[in-house]
Amino acid sequence: MDHALEAQGRLIALRDEAAAERHQRRASGLITAPDTAGAPERAHPDSTPPLAPGASVEARVERSQQDWLRVRRAPGVRGRELTELAAWLYPETSRAPGGHVLTGPGWLLDPPVELDAVTLRWIGEQTPAPSTGSVEHVLPLTDRGERYTSYSRAVRDLVRPRLMENRLSYRLLGLHARQGGLELEFGTIGFFQVFDVKQAVAHEFKAAWLATGGSLPDWSALPLRASIEDPFDPSCLLMSPGISTLTIRRDRAGGDHRFVLHERDGGAVADGGGLCHVTPSGEFQPSTVELVDVRNDFSLWRNIMREFSEEFLGNPEHDGSGPESIDYGEQEPFRSFERARAQGRFRMWHYGLVIEPLELGAGQLTVAVIDDEVFDDLFAALVTVNDEGRHVGAHGRADMPFTREAIDRLNPRLSASALTLLELAWRDRALLLHG
């Protein structure tokens, strides 16, 4: 009870601090939120003519599903707009540099640390999932006229993405700032359990945004979000922080450093379609559901290696659905990854954790700096198109120059966390490239 009251008090404090900041900015004539003028689909999803009394079940189902899809698709290709708007619900002290994402106390590391400075601790026991408010208001009707029981089921039936599986994920149970790094505590959780919460929270915000005509919704219109008493407390919000890695090809001779971006295919993935993100990126998950692999794969580095294998080399057997355990010391490409890292030519950095404001999804930000000769050798068979999208490049290349100009030019196409990570990496480029 004491913990719940304390968490509720923290949420109230966050809301009050954010409200005070907005009031102060209004009084001083500053812009209070990102400009949303011209955004599509301003009308409330329920602004279409009401159904006639006694409408058939079929008509009610059709209207419910159409409205749900309209809200889910808002704001079309301008997905980062709502993410950054949602950040304004929280005070500036809860936002990462740039204001694109949120971060909790002690979550973000400045400067970044070597990957091994972030230690993992296995908790393991089944910890009850935190309770949240009702989600009925963000779920459509099934074809039988009943309310869907989960967001993931509705997505599978009505959106039908090509890639959507309920795999086992590592669940964050605790985060502790340590001198020179972090300690993260984990158990396990089903992917859909986390997905359901994140997508429901995002859907609620989109519906409220449409209802306001494109303004920042009031907390009273966000009961589900408001029921999450402290978004930075894993006991209040289900978290399974995936790992987003910015990959930099380090040109040791000429300084023509490059980085790799991935544009997600909206027809293939359940969320994040149409935006560019750093790569490789993926959920923090074991390679199989076998207990030996749940423990053997409990490693940030091993998870990142599997993502490189899948996204850069197109190895589907390393995507988390394989039937056999992986021998990271002997199997390729992991053996080569390990050797390059041991030689100091494949360096990994960790920036800590952030939360995407629209869906309140936690994620880890990392950077891989790979010497040019090693990169070209490891990824000689680099694939530029995969099941989730394609690599972004120009002039026949599958990468972009790591320059201020390129980052600025790509800015509108980047996801909130990708932009945050790129800005941090550019700020710390001397350390990352030469440290």
Instruction: Give, in degrees to the nearest 5, the angle at Cα 35 between 33 and 40.
Output: 125
> How high does pLDDT run on average in the chain?
88
Residue 225 belongs to a domain? no
- Mind listing the pLDDT tens digit for each residue in 246-292? 999 999 998 999 999 999 765 544 455 578 999 999 999 999 888 89
Are 184 and 363 contacting, i.e. CB atoms less than 8 angstroms apart? no
Please report where in the chains the tokens 């301008």 appear, as a residue: 78
Residue 66: pLDDT band by 50, 70, 90 thresholds? very high
Residue 100 belongs to a domain? yes
Cα gap 41→74, rounded to integer Å:
7
Supply the range of the domain harboring residue 268. Answer: 2-31+90-136+168-190+231-434
pLDDT value, residue 318 = 66
Token pair in block for residue 233? 């407390």
pLDDT value, residue 214 = 92
Total domains in the chain come to 1
* CATH number of the domain bearing residue 10: 3.90.79.10
Residue 23 CB contacts under 8 Å (≥ 6 apart), including other chains: none
- Mind listing the pLDDT tens digit for each residue in 122-165? 998 778 888 888 999 999 999 999 999 999 999 999 999 877 88
Residue 146 belongs to a domain? no
Residue 54 belongs to a domain? no
pLDDT value, residue 14 = 73
Q: Identify the burial level of 38 via C-beta atoms within 10 angstroms of its C-beta, where 0-12 means exposed, 13-18 middle and 19 or more buried.
A: exposed
Residue 364 belongs to a domain? yes
Q: Facing residues of 178 across strands?
A: 181
Q: Give me the mean pLDDT over the 420-433 stretch.
A: 98
- Of 66 and 41, the structure prediction assigns the larger pLDDT to 66
> Which of 46, 59, 45 is CA-nearest to residue 143?
59
Q: Identify the burial level of 116 via C-beta atoms within 10 angstroms of its C-beta, where 0-12 means exposed, 13-18 middle and 19 or more buried.
A: exposed
Cα gap 19→41, rounded to integer Å:
26
Residue 30 CB contacts under 8 Å (≥ 6 apart), including other chains: none
Cα gap 150→165, rounded to integer Å:
14
Please report where in the chains the tokens 């790591």 appear, as a residue: 402
Token pair in block for residue 416? 């909130």
Residue 340 belongs to a domain? yes
Cα gap 123→4, rounded to integer Å:
22
pTM reported for the whole predicted model: 0.89
**CA dist 346 → 54, 195, 247, 337, 391 (Å):** 66, 32, 10, 8, 21
Cα gap 347→369, rounded to integer Å:
5
> Which of 244, 257, 312 is CA-nearest to residue 429?
257
- Mind listing the pLDDT tens digit for each residue in 167-177? 999 999 999 99
DSSP 44-76: -TT-SPPPPTT--HHHHHHHHHHHHHHHHHTTT
- Mind listing the pLDDT tens digit for each residue in 354-397? 999 999 999 999 999 999 999 999 999 999 887 777 888 766 78
Token pair in block for residue 17? 């601090």
Of 51-65, 90-104, 260-274, the range with the lowest mean pLDDT is 260-274
pLDDT at 42 over 50: no
pLDDT value, residue 16 = 72
Q: Give me the mean pLDDT over the 33-56 stretch.
A: 55
Residue 309 belongs to a domain? yes
Alpha-helical runs (H) found in 212-329:
223-227, 291-296, 300-313
pLDDT value, residue 40 = 39
pLDDT value, residue 270 = 46
pLDDT at 7 over 70: no
pLDDT value, residue 43 = 41
Residue 255 phi, psi (nearest 5): 80, 15
pLDDT value, residue 370 = 99
Query: With helix as H, strand as E and coil as C, how does 362-400 read?
Result: EEEEEEEEEEHHHHHHHCCCCCCEECCEEEECCCCCCCE
Residue 214 belongs to a domain? no
Of 46-60, 299-313, 340-354, the range with the lowest mean pLDDT is 46-60
